[in-house]
Copies of this chain bind each other. A is one copy, B any other.
C-alpha cells in the first residue's frame, strides 16, 4: 500500500509502505475512504516539532473495516467506521470518566494518510455508522475523527451552556468547529476572532454572531466592549501559542471558563494572573471517542455539517500539495481521497 511519510520539515512524500497487519487480537485494519491534514501535522511540517526519522504521518481517518482481530466484537469487516486520533480501550477508569484520550492504554494514531491503517483497541476506538454513508456525508464524518470532536471538547471544557456568550480564539478548522459546537450547545452569542474573510464568512454561516478582527490586547478590549465590559462567559482557545492563551484568559469574565485545545507551544500561565482572574481552565487532547455516537447522529441527521471546513479536496497521492496549501494558508483544511 502507499502512504504519506514525513522525512524532514517541508518534505512529505507519498510512498510505498508495507501493508499493516493485525498485531493484537484487539486490532482492526481499515481501508481508508478519506483522510486529511491536521493543523497539528503542520507543527512537524514547519519544523516546530522535530522530525528525526522518516515517519508515517496523519491521524484522521474514516474507512471500511477490512479485517478484525479475534477479540474484536463491536465492528466487523465491511462496516464504515470513524475512530479517534487516540486509540483507547474505552473501559479503563479514565475512559469511563469520559477522558478516552487519557486512556491508560492510549496510543496516538499515526500513518493515517495512507490506503490502509491498523487501529489498535478497535472496540474502544471505532464507531460504525448506521449504514454506508452517502458520499456527501464523508467530509463531515471525517471531521469527527479529530477537528469537530476537538471543537466540541473545547466548548464542553469551556462549559458552554444555553444562553452563553462565547468567544472563539483561532479561525482554523478547529476554531470553526468550535463555533458549530458552541451554537449546538445553545450559546446565544458566538464571537469569532478572525482576520481572514473566507473564514469569517464560514464562521458566520456556522452560527457566529460577531466577528472580531483585532488580536492581542486590542482583541481583548474589543471582547470587553462587545460584552458590556464583563468579558465572555466561555472562551475556546484553538491555537496553542502563548499569545492566543493570554488573549483567551483575558477575554473571559471572572467565573467564566477557557477550554483550550490548541496543542500548547511555549504556553506559560503565571499562577497569580490565573488566581486573580477567577477564570476556570481545562484543556487537553479531545476525548473524541466520547462524542462520536452523538456527533455521528448529528451529522447523519443533517443537524451539523462540519465537513464544510474542507475547502480543498485532493487525491491522496497529492498529499504533499495538501501540506503546502495548508502551510501557505491557501486552504483551511485539505481532504484526501485514496
Residues of B with C-beta under 8 A to A281? 274, 280-282
Residues of B with C-beta under 8 A to A269? 268-271, 274
B268 touches A264 (CB 8 A): no
A275 touches B283 (CB 8 A): yes
Given A94-B230, A230-B93, do A260 and B278 touch, yes or no (CB 8 Å)?
A: no
Interface string of A97-134 (1 = CB under 8 A from B): 11101101000000000000000000000000000000
Bound complex: CA A254 to CA B265 (Å) = 21
Counting CB contacts under 8 A, is A213 at the interface? no
Q: Which of B245, B265, B271, B276 contacts A268 (CB 8 A)?
A: B271
Counting CB contacts under 8 A, is A8 at the interface? no
Whole-angstrom distance from the CB of A253 to the nearest CB of chain B?
7
Residues of B with C-beta under 8 A to A94? 230, 253-255
B275 touches A97 (CB 8 A): no
Interface centre among A98, A270, A271 (most CB of B within 10 A): A271
Residues of B with C-beta under 8 A to A102? 254-255, 278
Counting CB contacts under 8 A, is A272 at the interface? yes
Interface string of A274-316 (1 = CB under 8 A from B): 1111111111110000000000000000000000000000000
B271 touches A267 (CB 8 A): yes
Interface string of A237-263 (1 = CB under 8 A from B): 000001001000000011101001001
B272 touches A276 (CB 8 A): no
Whole-angstrom distance from the CB of A88 to the nearest CB of chain B?
12
Counting CB contacts under 8 A, is A228 at the interface? yes
Residues of B with C-beta under 8 A to A283? 271, 274-275, 278
B271 touches A276 (CB 8 A): no
Whole-angstrom distance from the CB of A297 to the nearest CB of chain B?
23
Q: Which of B98, B101, B271 contacts A264 (CB 8 A)?
A: B271
Cβ contacts A to B, 20 pairs, < 8 Å: A93-B228, A97-B255, A102-B254, A102-B278, A157-B280, A254-B284, A263-B275, A264-B275, A267-B275, A269-B269, A269-B274, A271-B283, A274-B281, A274-B283, A275-B283, A276-B284, A278-B284, A279-B282, A280-B280, A280-B281
